[in-house]
């Protein structure tokens, strides 16, 4: 693993970012960021959510332009010229010309087209007649696919590929551009550990070929395994550049830059109240795969409860099924089995209104796509969930709504020019306050927050945490889904960890550490190929082999499994596992 890595990273400098600044309305996203990338190095960009990583890479790929500062790139695409010169990256085409390729978390692939067509989209080789030269295209695609060790035909429609393979197609596409700089935004977030290893292998090969890789990850252990240098971003500033061998505690300290207890002002009543929400055996089968293979359930056998006055964190990797569970219990999506009870009364499935009447509220993860009507006024957004309650004799009481909206906007200290302002023009933090405010205007007793502080500046984050405190002090409960581990650990009274659609374990606040949570988050069946169990397979056998494998690893001292946890004792079921 370490054989490929040099202590002195890479060769000549490919790319340099100098003092780059970028502001958005209400937020200074980048504030004098420096970054340098050499040929043949993997440069990890580390930082909390909202630290400015995305803004920085968007700048390098032409989606944003810096307000101040310079970006310099090495000379001609052939690599002949030596010195760096300033470049202005105004579009994706500019980035491409300079040799920068970016693989975002959301892939830029057209599902209906084939792998080859996607790789060469817009740049298809032509015949003398100007038609697409399919044969050449397929041959060149096949070669690229070999390089990324992807065993699919170039004529496979992209829609048939799973997420790991999609990522490989993206990498092949980047290779086809002869990119000298490859930017990867959390490429491992959605991969299983085996897939991660494959990805690392490819990245190492690219590095050996002299490509400079900017690698964003939240998984600290990946830094040592793959990286050469690390640039740490915090609150829009580049606070340090350190070798990848730096120990994890130091990296976390650099990243967070302050005591977590300050950042997360957790105030809780001594003992939680009566159970508000009880979820039992909640299961939703997965959609069948394209070849009729039974898919992994979206979530399965999910049991937990939330008590009044409590903050329960729901941690886990992206794709573990957290959002899906939240949507199901709020009645947005249906589920196949299990029950959701509020105050001991069962909620009708698939009925948002019923969930709202029972006192539930959902702040969805996609603030702009699901939380807000962006072009509507703040007032209209705030009163959206109580429209029926404000309707009397067929008419909506607009004056009353205005009063309510004004009250909650001032309570939440929304920075706005007036209630008539459109939601689109607010900063992320203030937008989120509007989404939360919507639920304060209904009688919400259990607020589900899905990634409540994603892309929000630190100041607004703390305000949202304080709001959570106020809610729990008033006897409300909060179920908080977050991929921001420090946030989950800092705010939760209990942490539930989901992995592969199940609750993998539960940790009380005192025992919840990053390590303990991650350990639970990465367990459960890792490879889809390994467990071909039908969707309704008995839990223990389907999980047997891999769990035994991980559980045999170093067990976190604080690890305590819930009674529902299908985990087995180490070594017990290695042979039981059905592998048919």
Partner 1 sequence: MTELLKTPEETPPSLEAGRGAAFGGWFTRVVLKNGPLGGLIALVVVMAALSKDFLNGQNLLNVGVQASVTAILAFGVTFVIVSAGIDLSVGSVAALSATVVAWAATHEGLPVWCAVLLGLAVGVAAGLVSGALVAYGRLPAFIATLAMLSVGRGLALVVSGGTPIPFPSSVSALGDTLGGWLPVPVLVMIAMGLIAAVILARTYTGRAMFAIGGNEEAARLSGIHVKRRKLVIYALSGLFAAVAGIVLAARLTSAQPQAASGYELDAIAAVVIGGASLSGGSGKASGTLIGALILAVLRNGLNLLSVSAFWQQVATGVVIAVAVLLDTLRRRSAR
Q: Which residues bind partner 1 (CB under 8 A)?
A: 330, 332, 352-353, 356, 362, 364, 369-376, 380, 384-385, 387-388, 391, 394-396, 398, 438
Closer CB to partner 1, residue 295 or residue 373? 373
Closest distance to partner 1 from the beta carbon of 471 (Å): 19
Closer CB to partner 1, residue 330 or residue 335? 330
Please report which residue ranges of 158-212 form alpha helices under DSSP H. 163-176, 193-208
CA dist., res. 322 & res. 311, Å (int): 16
Closest distance to partner 1 from the beta carbon of 175 (Å): 36
Orientation angle between helical segments 193-208 and 163-176, nearest 10 degrees = 10
CA dist., res. 381 & res. 431, Å (int): 10
Closer CB to partner 1, residue 222 or residue 451? 451
CA dist., res. 426 & res. 419, Å (int): 11
Closest distance to partner 1 from the beta carbon of 401 (Å): 9
Closer CB to partner 1, residue 163 or residue 376? 376
Q: Which helix (H) or strand (E) holds 326?
A: helix 322-329
Rg (CA), the chain: 25
Closest distance to partner 1 from the beta carbon of 287 (Å): 17
Q: Which residues share a beta bridge with 279?
A: 304, 340
Hey, how many other C-beta atoms are within 10 angstroms of the C-beta on 264? 19
Closer CB to partner 1, residue 75 or residue 350? 350
Closest distance to partner 1 from the beta carbon of 380 (Å): 7
Closest distance to partner 1 from the beta carbon of 352 (Å): 5
Closer CB to partner 1, residue 344 or residue 394? 394
Q: What is the dihedral of CA 312, 317, 320, 321, to 10 degrees?
A: 50
Closest distance to partner 1 from the beta carbon of 447 (Å): 13
Token couple for 215: 């690698």
Locus of tokens 């209990």: 494
Structural contact between residues 59 and 71, judged by C-beta atoms closer than 8 angstroms: yes
Closest distance to partner 1 from the beta carbon of 24 (Å): 15
Closer CB to partner 1, residue 304 or residue 439? 439
Locus of tokens 């350190």: 242
Closer CB to partner 1, residue 25 or residue 459? 25
Closest distance to partner 1 from the beta carbon of 427 (Å): 16
CA dist., res. 386 & res. 390, Å (int): 6
CA dist., res. 459 & res. 457, Å (int): 6
Structural contact between residues 481 and 326, judged by C-beta atoms closer than 8 angstroms: yes
Nearby residues of 260 by Cβ (< 8 Å), 6 or more positions away = 486, 489, 490
Closer CB to partner 1, residue 370 or residue 572? 370
């Amino acid at each position: 693993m370490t054989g490929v890595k040099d202590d002195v990273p890479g060769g000549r400098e490919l790319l340099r970012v100098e003092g780059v600044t970028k502001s958005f309305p209400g937020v200074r996203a980048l504030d004098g960021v420096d970054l340098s990338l050499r040929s043949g190095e993997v440069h990890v960009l580390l930082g909390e959510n909202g630290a400015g990583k995305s803004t920085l890479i968007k700048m390098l790929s032409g989606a944003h332009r810096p307000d101040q500062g310079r970006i310099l790139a090495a000379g001609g695409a052939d690599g002949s010229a030596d010195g760096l010169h300033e470049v202005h990256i105004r579009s994706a085409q500019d980035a491409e010309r300079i040799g920068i390729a970016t693989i975002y978390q959301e892939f830029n692939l057209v599902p209906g087209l084939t792998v080859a067509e996607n790789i060469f989209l817009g740049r298809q080789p032509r015949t003398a007649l100007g038609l697409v030269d399919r044969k050449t295209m397929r041959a060149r695609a096949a070669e690229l696919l070999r390089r990324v060790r992807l065993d699919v035909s170039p004529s496979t429609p992209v829609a048939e590929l799973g997420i790991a393979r999609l990522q490989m197609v993206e990498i092949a596409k980047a290779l086809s551009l002869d990119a000298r700089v490859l930017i990867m935004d959390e490429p491992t977030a959605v991969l299983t550990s085996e897939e991660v290893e494959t990805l690392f292998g490819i990245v190492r090969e690219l590095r050996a070929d002299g490509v400079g890789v900017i690698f964003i990850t939240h998984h600290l252990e990946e830094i040592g395994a793959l990286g050469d240098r690390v640039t740490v971003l915090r609150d829009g500033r580049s606070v340090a550049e350190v070798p990848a061998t730096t120990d994890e505690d130091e990296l976390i300290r650099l990243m967070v830059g302050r005591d977590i207890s300050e950042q997360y002002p957790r105030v809780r009543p001594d003992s939680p109240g009566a159970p508000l929400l009880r979820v039992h055996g909640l299961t939703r089968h997965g959609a069948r795969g394209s070849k009729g293979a039974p898919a992994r359930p979206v979530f399965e056998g999910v049991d937990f409860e939330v008590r009044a006055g409590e903050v329960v964190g729901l941690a886990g990797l992206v794709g573990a099924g957290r959002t899906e569970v939240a949507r199901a219990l709020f009645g947005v999506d249906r589920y196949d089995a299990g029950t959701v009870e509020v105050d001991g009364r069962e909620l009708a499935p698939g009925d948002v209104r019923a969930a709202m009447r029972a006192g539930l509220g959902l702040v969805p993860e996609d603030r702009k796509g699901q939380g807000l009507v962006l072009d509507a006024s703040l007032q209209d957004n705030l009163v959206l969930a109580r429209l029926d309650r404000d309707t009397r004799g067929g008419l909506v009481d607009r004056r009353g709504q205005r009063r309510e909206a004004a009250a909650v906007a001032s309570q939440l200290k929304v920075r706005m020019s007036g209630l008539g302002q459109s939601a689109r023009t607010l900063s992320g933090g203030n937008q989120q306050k509007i989404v939360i405010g919507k639920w304060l205007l209904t009688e919400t007793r259990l607020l589900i927050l899905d990634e409540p502080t994603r892309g929000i500046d630190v100041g607004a984050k703390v305000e949202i945490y304080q709001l959570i405190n106020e809610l729990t002090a008033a006897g409300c409960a909060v179920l908080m889904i977050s991929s921001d581990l420090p946030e989950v650990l800092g705010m939760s009274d209990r942490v539930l960890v989901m992995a592969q659609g199940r609750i993998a374990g539960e940790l009380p606040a005192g025992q919840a550490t990053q390590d303990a949570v991650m350990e639970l988050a990465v367990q459960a069946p890792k490879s889809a190929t390994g467990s071909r169990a039908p969707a309704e397979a008995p839990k223990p056998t389907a999980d047997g082999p891999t769990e035994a494998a991980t559980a045999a690893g170093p067990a976190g001292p604080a690890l305590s499994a819930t009674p529902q946890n299908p985990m087995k004792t180490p070594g017990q079921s290695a042979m039981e596992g059905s592998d048919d």
